Every structure is written in C-alpha cells, then in structure tokens.
Chains A and B, each alone.
Chain A
C-alpha cells in the first residue's frame, strides 16, 4: 500500500488475500460437490459402501496419493511438472530394502536415508530445471528412465521382504481406529497448506509460477525457489515410499510404476492450475479422495476393474474442459 512496497509477495493485505481466495473457493466447492455426488451414487449402487472397513480402506489407499500430491501441487504451482516420482519411489524402495534387509540397519536410519535419497533425486531434477533451464517435462522424462534404471541395477530384480518391526507398523498400524498413513497424510497436508499459503517461500513458489519474469523483477530468486520446490517434491516422494514399503512389507524396483498419472490427476482434479501460479493443497486432498472413492466404488459396484482407468481418463478431461470453459467466460 505504501509507495515503498518492493516485494508484493510479502504483504498481501486482507483485500488482496480475499481476492486471491475468491476463485479458489469456487474450485474447492466444485470439488466437494463432485465428491458428494460420487458418494451418493455409489451408496445406491453398493450397500457396503458406507461400512467402516470400506471408508477406512479408501482413506488408507488415498493417503499415498495425498502425500505425493502435496509435493506435486507445489511443483505444478511453480509452473513445473514431475513425472519421475514413480521411478524415485522404485529407487528409494530398493535402497531401503538393501539397507534394512541386506545390511540389517534400523528402520530409523533407513527412513532418514529414504528421505535423503528422495531429496537428492529432487535436487537432480531441480538442478536441471532451475539452473540448466531444461523444460521440466523433458528433465523428468529423462530421470524417469534414469532413476528406474538405477533402481533395477541396485535391486537386481530382487524382492525384499519381511521388514523389521517399526516399518510394517508405519504402513499398517492403527491408532484410534485409523491407519498411521492417514495421520501422516493429514500432517503433510496441514504442513503443505501452511507452507504454500503462509510462508515466504510458499508465496514465492506461487509468484514464480504465476509470472516468472515479474517474480524475478520483484527480487525473487527464481532459481532457488524452483530448485527447492523439486527438493521438497523429492522428500515427500521419499516419505511416500516409506509408507508404501511399510504397507506392502516389501520393496521392489518396480514400485511406484505409473503412480505419476494418478498423482497428477488428483492434483489437477483438485483445481491446481497446470499453468502455474495457483496451488490448492486442500483441493488435492479432495482430488485424491475423488479418485479413491471412484476406484473403490466401481469395484464394490461389481464393475470390472479395467473400467476404472476409463472412468479416470474421462473424468479428468471432462473436469478440466468444464473448468477451462468457465474460466474462458469469466475472463471475457
């Protein structure tokens, strides 16, 4: 407001915040509506849909996509994309297996190493995107092959099984009737939401994704911001791996194959813009839940499993087409 306001990202002001929030609220409401419609439909097609076991199961399955989805939301908000996360999961899982099964390391060490490996993979992507300035889709296309190859190379086609105790508990333990991964997901979401909306770094990510040149002129270190976004994505991918390995009580180089499709779909369904500058962590939660409800609902309604892919594809395109049409009319 004052004449000397050099960094618009630091002082939003209540009005500016409200204006920023307004379009997002609409998106969140539409996501909630979609989720409710799906739940109502499936409650008619399947009697068991509302049983506690089914609800817990949906939450449990969805938690993986939510944890990775928080990272993906940040990446998309910065104007990037990361399709290498499936391979990072394969690599991290293999390394966890090697450490814990072959070398008998304690779970705490393996988990820390998993987060570190994820961070390193993310830093590699971030280096190429932010510093060498290769388009993110191309970078992560390359690392998709590269990390998966490393995973196979280290794992030698083996399946690591029977992990020592704390790890299966992380993947499948219950506290107050809810699985541990759900708590991890909730904490990640709260942290991610706070980070994106209320910290300086989070606002920088949004600014860089919205208009990179403007962000640079406003004094934001674009290179650093982008680099850190990918590192965070990597760390959260490492965390996702810990949950997956814990739940399966196994680790294998093929883990995470194709997961990027589901994670990106969840984030986009949740209202985060593919063009950058608009990230909705809470929307991502809704998007992941929509996918989870869709999968489980179709399965319980007796639909052949393969139709889930068809439904996912149609839903994704339809939602984005609808959204683009609405944004088109609004801007006119």
Chain B
C-alpha cells in the first residue's frame, strides 16, 4: 500500500531532481526545455484536432514558412545578445529584395549578379546600423527606428507602388525546388542555424558578442574592441536579413516596397520565445530555431484548425505575452535565490 503510494511520488521527485540538476549544470537548460515542451505541446494539440496537421505535405509547408523566420531569428539572436535590437530588418528585407527584384525582373540580368548585389545591399544596411550604434553611440532602438523609415523609404523611392513578379525559375528553386522532398531554403535555414550556434558559442567573435552584451564596460576593459563587435553583429544581421528576404521572395514569387512589413516584431518575438535574454549576454540560437518553428506552426496550425487570421493574431499575441511573463518571473526567482 505504502510502496504503491511512494512510487509515483518518488518518480516525480526524480524527474524534478533531474530537472533541477540539469538546470544547475547547464544554465540554458530550463529555457531550452520549456521552449521544446511548448513546441511539442503545440504539435500534439494541433495533431489531435486535425490529423492532417502532421501529414508530410503540411510539414513541408510549415518548414518552408519557417525558413525565413529561422534565418532572420539567428541574426536577431546575435543582436539581442549584444543587448541591442534591430527594428529595421523588415525594411532591410524590402530594400535588398527590391535590389534583387530590379536586377532579375526589371533588368533581366543573371542570378550571379542579383544574389551578390542583394547580399551587399543587406550588408550595407546592417553596416549602416552598426556604424551608427557603435561610432555615434546612438541607442540601437533609435538607430533602427530611423533606418526602419529610411530603408523602407528608399525601397518606395526605387519601386513606387509597383509589384514585381515573374522571377526566373533558378531563383524560385530556392523555395519551390525539392531536395529529398524538402525545399532547399529549409536546408539553408538549418545550416545557418547550426552555423549560428557554433559561431556564437565556439568562436572568439561569438564569445566576444556574449561578453559585450553581458557587461560592456568589463568587456572593454578586458581588451575587447566593443565597437568592432557591435559593427560586425549588425552587419551579420543585415546579411542574414537579405538571405531571409530572398527565401521570402522565392516563396511568394513577388516583391513590393511594402513586403515584410512588421516582420521585425515577429522575429523579436520568436527570439524571446526561444529564451534569449533581452538584458543581453545570453543568446540561444537553438531556442530561436524552436521559436521560429513555434511561430510557423501557430500560423499554419490555426489555419488548419479553421481559425481566421484575426483570431490567430490575438492568440499569438496572448501566447507570446504569457510565455514572456512566465520567463520574467522565472528569471527573477532565479536571481532571488542566488
């Protein structure tokens, strides 16, 4: 009798003990595990409501939708890790996309020219942000609020209200081709995520990014060129925004100046969902990967369940607020006990 009562109790204790031990050994364990649990819970819920959710066809669609989010999320993880923020990435997507669109569609020039030009445009946007943040010490929020208007304005200057479509097939292959049944853009996204994880955790520059975000003054005194690190971080963000933009363009097969409006909010949301600290000094690229998948699953799953995009927006907002509130309480608890 007693043993029967004891057993589940002991089991629960073990699990809790493991959880606590792992949390102690790996500081990021709690964040990553809760994100993973949320991801799994969402998959199970949507599968129970509608079996088609986990059909191969739909999984491919979800991954395809998530690819751009993952790529943007990796860059934003770096930026937020330095205690910065980048509101201009939607506009960067638009400006680099406009360059690609003009070259490929309007001028009918080859892909070999368009892709480097698009990446260069993205890098230039990022470098401009980085230069203003690092050199002039303008707060990142203000810089990127300004460049959000600036880059978007330039896209409108170049394109006006026209919509460019009819990209060449080689370009569309990025999102519409299939390698082993999955779009090349998905492979690209996962490669970038793995690179981002490696870069942040196992390279010197990555470690310096974390150091700058954790305590800038200490990092400077330790001999880190904080300005250079910030400049590099925003430039990487710009390049990744251009890459994400191309994936986006290839998927929708069109570009206009208003494209990707507000994507910065989704990207910041998914990075925070993934457990990266807004207070800087802690970046979880794999968390962002899961955050991007959560976002793609929510957008896709809610449609499959039959809820309109309006309910979708309300629910995504609510889930985001709840998770972040929970994270903040957790974070504060952790600080109190230490």
Interface on A for B, CB 8 Å cutoff?
81, 128, 132-135, 137-139, 141-150, 152-153, 261, 264-265, 268, 274-275, 304, 306-317, 320-321, 324-325, 328
Q: How far is the CB of B167 from chain A (nearest CB, A)?
A: 24
A132-B329, A268-B142 known; A307 vs B137 contact (CB < 8 Å): no
Are A314 and B146 neighbours in the complex by a CB distance under 8 Å? yes
Determine the distance from Cα of A81 to Cα of B154 in the docked complex, in whole angstroms: 27
Q: Is B12 an interface residue (CB 8 A)?
A: no
B141 close to A274 (CB less than 8 A) = yes
Across the two chains, which residue of chain A brings its CB closest to B327? A134
Q: Which residue of B lies closest to A273 (CB)?
A: B139
Partner pick for A306 among B153, B309, B310, CB 8 A cutoff? B153
User: In whole angstroms, what is the CA distance A135 to B137 when docked?
Assistant: 21
* Interchain CB contact under 8 A, A307 and B157: yes
Q: How far is the CA of A153 from the CA of B311 in the complex (A)?
A: 7
Q: Contacts A138-B278, A145-B320, A316-B146 given: A132-B265 contact, CB under 8 Å?
A: no
B105 at the interface (CB under 8 A from A): no
Q: Which of B284-338 contact A (CB under 8 A)?
A: 309-318, 320-321, 324-325, 328-329, 332
Contact between A312 and B146, CB atoms less than 8 A apart: yes
Cβ A324 vs Cβ B136 within 8 A: yes
- Chain A residues with CB under 8 Å of B151's CB are 313
Q: Are A309 and B150 in contact (CB under 8 A)?
A: yes
Contact among A81, A145, A307, A311 for B316, CB-based, below 8 A: A145
Query: Are B139 and A275 in contact, CB atoms less than 8 angstroms apart?
Result: yes
| CB <8 Å contact, B150 and A313 | yes
- Minimum CB–CB distance from A221 to chain B (whole Å) comes to 19
Of B137, B312, B321, the residue contacting A142 (CB under 8 A) is: B321
Q: A144-B265, A261-B145, A317-B146 are in contact. Are A309 and B156 (CB under 8 A)?
A: yes
Report chain B residues within 8 Å CB of A144: 265, 317
Q: Cβ of A146 and Cβ of B145 under 8 Å apart?
A: no
Hey, which bits of chain B sit against chain A, CB under 8 A? 85, 132, 136-139, 141-143, 145-154, 156-157, 160, 257, 265, 268-269, 272, 278-279, 309-318, 320-321, 324-325, 328-329, 332
Determine the chain B residues whose CB is within 8 A of the CB of A133 once the complex forms.
328, 332
- 5 smallest CB-CB distances across A and B, nearest first, come from A146-B317, A313-B150, A309-B153, A149-B313, A149-B314
Q: Is the CB of A153 within 8 A of B310?
A: yes
A306-B141 contact in complex given A142-B321, A261-B149, A314-B146, C-beta closer than 8 Å: no
Cα A148 to Cα B311 in complex, Å, equals 10
Contacts of B257 in A (CB 8 A): 306
CB neighbours of A142 from chain B (8 A): 269, 317-318, 320-321, 324
The contact of B149 among A137, A146, A152, A309, by CB within 8 Å, is A309
Give the chain A neighbours of B328 by CB distance below 8 A.
132-135
Are A314 and B324 interface neighbours, CB within 8 A? no
* Docked pose: A324 CA to B269 CA in angstroms: 29
Q: Are B152 and A309 in contact (CB under 8 A)?
A: yes
Chain A residues closer than 8 Å to B314, beta-carbon distance: 145-146, 149-150, 153
Q: Within the assembled complex, what's the spacing in Å between the Cα atoms of A315 and B142?
A: 11
Take A143-B317, A261-B148, A313-B148 as given contacts and tell me if A134 and B325 are in contact as well, using a CB distance cutoff of 8 Å.
Answer: yes
Known A-B contacts A133-B328, A142-B317, A306-B156; the reply to A316 vs B149 at CB < 8 A is yes
Nearest opposing residue in chain B for A150, CB measure: B314
CA separation between A307 and B257, bound complex, in Å?
A: 13
B309 cross-chain contacts in A, Cβ below 8 A: 152
Q: How far is the CA of A325 from the CA of B172 in the complex (A)?
A: 46
Q: Which residue of A lies closest to B322 (CB)?
A: A142
Closest chain A CB from B243 CB (angstroms): 23
A310-B157, A314-B150 given as contacts; is B137 within 8 A of A324 (CB)? Answer: yes
Instruction: List the B side residues contacting A311 at CB < 8 Å.
Output: 153
> Is the CB–CB distance between B136 and A146 below 8 Å?
no
B160 close to A306 (CB less than 8 A): yes
List chain B residues, Cβ under 8 A from A146.
313-314, 317-318, 321
B135 to chain A, nearest CB (A): 9
* C-alpha gap A133/B328 in the complex (Å): 7
A12 to B329, CA, bound (A): 36
Closest Cβ–Cβ distance, residue B80 to chain A (whole Å):
11
Distance of A176 Cα from B268 Cα, bound (Å): 48
Q: Which residue of B lies closest to A131 (CB)?
A: B325
Among residues of B, the one whose C-beta sits closest to the C-beta of A314 is B150
The contact sample of 27 A-B pairs, CB cut-off 8 A, is A132-B325, A133-B328, A134-B324, A134-B328, A135-B279, A138-B272, A141-B265, A141-B268, A141-B269, A142-B269, A144-B317, A146-B317, A146-B318, A149-B315, A152-B309, A152-B313, A261-B149, A265-B145, A304-B157, A306-B156, A309-B153, A313-B147, A316-B142, A316-B149, A317-B142, A321-B137, A324-B137
B137 / chain A contacts, CB cutoff of 8 Å: 321, 324-325, 328
Query: Which of B132, B154, B160, B324: most chain A CB closer than 10 A?
Result: B324
